[in-house]
């Protein structure tokens, strides 16, 4: 039963004491979030991982987040992901080898430009390392515009990957939408090199399959049913959805909007369904609605972190066995750290 499982998790956490810290992304299930020492967005969790001095960092999140935690933490700290199946499909849309090949083509299309690559946190360590090597950095959904500004001060052009929607929304925020072009990694032969040469921002054609499913109809339907509703969405949503919303921001910004709402206000939330459910529980005084109505937007990657796996990895640690360790290759670690540091320093 859930009660027995909760007792087992608590017993293991008690036995491990200060040796373990549990981090939980906002999209994790209630049964994971309830046991986390820190719950937050990708940026906050990377800061928490850097500050953690526990021997074990158990990460309730997806592979790229655990990789970033391994990069940021000291060498004697071990990062554990309760399920090795928790991989964000968007991160898989920009593989370092494929980006390497595209980079050559983009450089050839704009030989006079200094191109600064920026990768979203939602990417694997080898791509973060590639960006560092080429003078670029990492960004998260909460600081993309600041990192874009930084990159455009250093160079003439930004290559942003993998999320075209966050890229488009950020370009718009900076007034650069007319100088933005989409790079099609699946069919590079078809790319018009003149438009790449003229652009200030080149966007990789990746997307989040959870947020891409929101459309303007969702916003219209919620406004019809609740004319007083405020609409808050994640910047991985399409441009027109962001345009139709009242507030846009990372999962931390979404949490703040609801925490700061007056009692009785209605907020429709356009993001992964588990966070919407947490907000309903955490703020019963606010009328929190899922923007998706009954069509549940559920991230399958985040869902892989089953509470039974959390129980397993913690009990194994109590028995002296380290399971599901996430370890970034040493040759990638320093460079990926550099890309993360450039972001953390901003």
Q: Does 48 bind ligand 13P (CB under 6 A)?
A: no
Tokens representing 324 are: 């599901």
Residue (136 or 235) nearer to ligand SF4, CB: 235
| 208 touches ligand 13P (CB under 6 A) | yes
**Cα-to-chain-centroid distance, residue 206:** 13
Smallest separation, CB 207 to ligand 13P (Å): 10
DSSP string, 297-317: ---HHHHT--HHHHHHHHHHH
Closest separation in Å from C-beta 271 to ligand SF4: 8
Cα 295 versus chain centre, distance? 22
Burial of residue 221 (CB within 10 Å: 0-12, 13-18, 19+) is middle
The verdict on 336 binding ligand SF4 (CB under 6 A) reads: no
Contact between 122 and ligand 13P (CB under 6 A)? yes
Question: For ligand SF4, which is the closer residue by CB, 90 or 291?
Answer: 90
The yes or no reply on residue 92 touching ligand SF4 (CB under 6 A) is no
CA atoms within 13 A on the CB side of 275: 32
**Greatest CA separation found in the chain?**
64
The site partner of 141 among ligand 13P, ligand SF4, none (C-beta below 5 to 8 Å per kind) is ligand 13P
Residue 45 near ligand SF4 by CB under 6 A: no
> Which of the ranges 49-57, 87-95, 306-314, 337-345 carries the binding residues for ligand SF4, by CB under 6 A?
87-95
Close Cβ partners of 196 (under 8 Å, ≥ 6 residues apart): 106, 109, 110, 181, 183, 202
Q: Which is nearer to ligand SF4, 159 or 301 (CB)?
A: 301
**Residue 131 assigned ligand-binding role:** no
Take residue 281 and report the two structure tokens written for it. Answer: 């529980």
Residues 6+ apart with CB under 8 A from 331: none
Taking a C-beta distance cutoff of 8 angstroms, is the pair 269, 258 a contact? yes
67 contact choice in ligand SF4, ligand 13P, none (CB below 5 to 8 Å, kind-dependent):
none
DSSP string for residues in 219-230? HHHHHHH-TT-E
Number of residues that bind ligand 13P (CB under 6 A): 10
- Where does 59-110 have alpha helices with state H? 63-72, 96-109
Q: Per rule CB under 6 A, is residue 180 in the interface with ligand 13P?
A: no
Asked if residue 21 binds ligand SF4 (CB under 6 A), the reply is no
Are 147 and 116 in contact, with CB atoms under 8 Å apart? Answer: no
> Can residue 250 be called a binding residue for ligand 13P (CB under 6 A)?
yes
Please say which residue, 39 or 317, places its beta carbon nearer to ligand 13P: 39
Sketch the per residue contact string, 296 through 315, with ligand SF4: x for CB under 6 A, - otherwise. Answer: ---x-xx-------------
Query: Where do contacts with ligand 13P occur on this chain (CB under 6 A)?
Result: 26, 41-42, 122, 140-141, 208, 236, 250-251
Query: Where do contacts with ligand SF4 occur on this chain (CB under 6 A)?
Result: 62, 88-90, 122, 208-210, 236, 272, 299, 301-302
């Amino acid at each position: 039963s859930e009660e027995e499982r909760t007792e087992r998790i608590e017993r293991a956490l008690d036995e491990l004491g200060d040796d373990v810290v549990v981090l939980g992304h906002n999209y994790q299930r209630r049964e994971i979030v309830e046991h986390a020492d820190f719950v937050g967005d990708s940026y906050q969790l990377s800061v928490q991982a850097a500050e953690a001095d526990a021997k074990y960092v158990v990460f309730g999140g997806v592979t790229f987040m655990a990789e970033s935690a391994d990069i940021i933490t000291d060498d004697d700290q071990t990062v554990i992901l309760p399920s090795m199946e928790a991989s964000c499909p968007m991160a898989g849309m920009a593989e370092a080898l494929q980006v390497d090949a595209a980079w050559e083509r983009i450089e050839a299309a704009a030989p006079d430009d200094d191109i600064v690559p920026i990768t979203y946190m939602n990417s694997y360590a080898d791509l973060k390392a590639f960006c560092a090597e080429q003078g670029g950095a990492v960004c998260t959904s909460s600081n993309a515009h600041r990192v874009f500004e930084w990159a455009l001060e250093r160079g003439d052009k930004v290559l942003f990957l993998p999320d075209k929607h966050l890229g488009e929304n950020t370009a718009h925020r900076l007034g650069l939408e007319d100088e933005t072009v989409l790079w099609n990694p699946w069919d590079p032969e078809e790319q018009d090199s003149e438009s790449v040469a003229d652009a200030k921002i080149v966007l990789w054609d990746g997307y989040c399959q959870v947020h891409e499913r929101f459309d303007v109809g969702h916003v219209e339907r919620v406004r019809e049913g609740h004319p007083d509703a405020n609409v808050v969405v994640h910047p991985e949503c399409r441009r027109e959805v962001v345009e139709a919303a009242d507030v846009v921001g990372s999962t931390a910004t979404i949490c703040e909007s609801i925490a700061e709402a007056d009692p009785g206000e209605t907020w429709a939330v356009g993001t992964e369904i588990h966070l919407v459910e947490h907000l309903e529980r955490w703020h019963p005084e606010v009328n929190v609605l899922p923007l998706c109505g009954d069509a549940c937007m559920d991230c399958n990657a985040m869902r892989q972190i089953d509470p039974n796996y959390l129980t397993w990895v913690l009990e194994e640690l109590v028995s002296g066995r380290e399971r599901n360790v996430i370890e970034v290759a040493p040759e990638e670690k320093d460079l990926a750290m550099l890309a993360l540091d450039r972001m953390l320093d901003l």
